[in-house]
């Protein structure tokens, strides 16, 4: 581990001088100066809003506060109790967690399979596949969403056209994003998977290049099966990479906002088509109920921490060594 290699100050140095050596003291303070800039900007850009959010989650914003600038009243846990009794909120939460788990899981599986595929094909095919993945990875979210809405367009979208070429299938005029919430979220999931698989595939592929070819070869000579080789040689190397990309994808997919908003721009806007991100936005910003919106986002924060708890705990252990 390279984290523990902080240079130890030469032991002989403090032996003679009785007081603390100024250079040693300066060195002790150095890391704090180094992190100062990052800490300050994080306190301002993230810390303050989080504190505001927590405080606001215990407040009630009524008409008086919105119009007359009257300070909001503290209402204790009223906002939390209200969202706990809000059936729509729970439906949205359930949907979000399901959406997040399915999307992140499929992304990881497809990404790792593509990375394994890359190790087994001709260099030219690998290069072509990598370029294709890069195109998707580099696509700005807004541009990607705009294109997909055009691809799924009911009248002139190329997807309906191509599907209708299959004998016996007629998808002309089929409305992908406005028919049922299930279909809407399948489309959203496809778009998000398209955009996030490249990151997973490249990370996993970079991880795979660290697997020793000699060890693989030797184990093969010793009669290890492909499954055994993957489980005992490839997977241990890949595990930390999969852990971090799975965690990041879970987090990104739980708080997905732009994609759902832009899809709603082109389709239905009812709460049946909301995930936590858009529901909080509708409640807190569009609905001006800052207190309820804040309480919901604190809930999402807790949910995120719960999702990533195992990873964070192992990280704390690892760093504490």
Q: Answer for the pair 273, 281: CB distance below 8 angstroms, yes or no.
A: no
Of 191, 208, 311, the residue nearest 251 (C-alpha):
311
Of residues 119-138, which lie at the interface with another protein (CB under 8 A)?
Answer: 120-122, 124-126, 128-129, 131-138
Q: Any contact of residue 50 with another protein (CB under 8 A)? A: yes
CA distances from 228 to 216, 223, 231 (A): 10, 10, 5
Query: How many residues line the site for another protein (CB under 8 A)?
Result: 118
CA distance 64 to 71: 9
CA distance 277 to 82: 18
Q: Of these, 102, 117, 163, 183, which contacts another protein (CB under 8 A)?
A: 117
Enter the tokens of residue 249. 């994808």
Closest distance of CB 157 from another protein, Å: 8
CA distance 73 to 88: 25
Closest distance of CB 275 from another protein, Å: 10
Whose Cβ is closer to another protein: residue 18's or residue 131's?
131
Closest distance of CB 16 from another protein, Å: 20
Closest distance of CB 2 from another protein, Å: 4
Of residues 165-194, which lie at the interface with another protein (CB under 8 A)?
Answer: 172, 194
CA distances from 294 to 49, 57, 88, 282, 305 (A): 10, 5, 17, 12, 17
Sequence-distant (≥ 6) Cβ neighbours of residue 283 within 8 angstroms: 289, 292, 293, 296
Give the start-end residues of each E strand in 239-285: none
Binding part of the chain for another protein, among 11-19, 48-56, 65-73, 174-182 by CB under 8 A, reads: 48-56
Q: Of these, 84, 90, 258, 269, which contacts another protein (CB under 8 A)?
A: 258
Whose Cβ is closer to another protein: residue 36's or residue 169's?
36
Q: What is the DSSP letter of 74?
A: E
Q: Of these, 142, 182, 232, 269, which contacts another protein (CB under 8 A)?
A: 142
Number of other CB atoms surrounding residue 130 within 10 Å: 17
Q: Any contact of residue 42 with another protein (CB under 8 A)? A: yes
Q: Of these, 24, 143, 169, 182, which contacts another protein (CB under 8 A)?
A: 143
Q: Of these, 82, 91, 101, 251, which contacts another protein (CB under 8 A)?
A: 251
Q: Of these, 14, 21, 31, 76, which contacts another protein (CB under 8 A)?
A: 31
Let me know if 288 is exposed, middle or buried by CB neighbors in 10 A (0-12, 13-18, 19+).
middle
Number of other CB atoms surrounding residue 57 within 10 Å: 23
Closest distance of CB 56 from another protein, Å: 7
Closest distance of CB 277 from another protein, Å: 4
Q: Any contact of residue 22 with another protein (CB under 8 A)? A: no
Binding part of the chain for another protein, among 69-77, 83-91, 174-182, 273-281 by CB under 8 A, reads: 273-281
Whose Cβ is closer to another protein: residue 4's or residue 18's?
4
Give the start-end residues of each E strand in the chain: 59-60, 73-74
Whose Cβ is closer to another protein: residue 18's or residue 214's?
214
Of residues 87-106, which lie at the interface with another protein (CB under 8 A)?
Answer: none
């Amino acid at each position: 581990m390279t984290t523990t290699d902080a240079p130890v100050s030469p032991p002989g140095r403090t032996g003679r001088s009785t007081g603390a050596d100024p250079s040693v003291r300066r060195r002790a303070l150095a890391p704090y100066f180094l992190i100062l800039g990052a800490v300050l900007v994080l306190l301002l850009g993230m810390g303050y809003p989080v504190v505001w959010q927590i405080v606001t989650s215990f407040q009630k914003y009524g008409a008086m506060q919105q119009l007359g600038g009257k300070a909001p009243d503290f209402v204790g846990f009223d906002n939390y109790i209200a969202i706990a009794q809000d059936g729509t909120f729970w439906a949205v939460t359930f949907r979000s967690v399901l959406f997040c788990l399915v999307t992140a899981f499929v992304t990881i599986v497809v990404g790792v399979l593509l990375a394994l595929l890359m190790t087994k094909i001709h260099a030219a095919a690998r290069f072509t596949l990598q370029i294709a993945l890069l195109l998707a990875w580099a696509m700005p979210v807004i541009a990607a969403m705009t294109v997909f809405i055009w691809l799924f367009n009911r009248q002139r979208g190329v997807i309906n056209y191509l599907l209708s070429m299959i004998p016996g299938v007629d998808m002309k005029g089929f409305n992908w994003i406005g028919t049922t919430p299930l279909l809407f979220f399948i489309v959203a999931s496809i778009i998000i998977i398209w955009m996030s698989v490249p990151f997973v595939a490249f990370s996993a592929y970079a991880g795979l290049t660290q697997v020793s070819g000699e060890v693989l070869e030797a184990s093969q000579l010793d009669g290890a099966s492909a499954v055994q080789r993957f489980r005992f040689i490839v997977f241990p190397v890949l595990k930390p990479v999969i852990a971090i990309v799975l965690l990041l994808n879970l987090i990104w997919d739980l708080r997905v906002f732009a994609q759902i908003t832009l899809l709603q721009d082109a389709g239905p806007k009812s709460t049946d088509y909301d995930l936590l991100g858009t529901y909080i936005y509708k409640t807190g910003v569009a609905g001006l109920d800052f207190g309820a919106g804040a309480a919901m986002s604190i809930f999402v924060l807790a949910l995120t921490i719960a999702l990533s708890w195992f990873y964070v705990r192992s990280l704390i252990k690892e760093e504490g060594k």
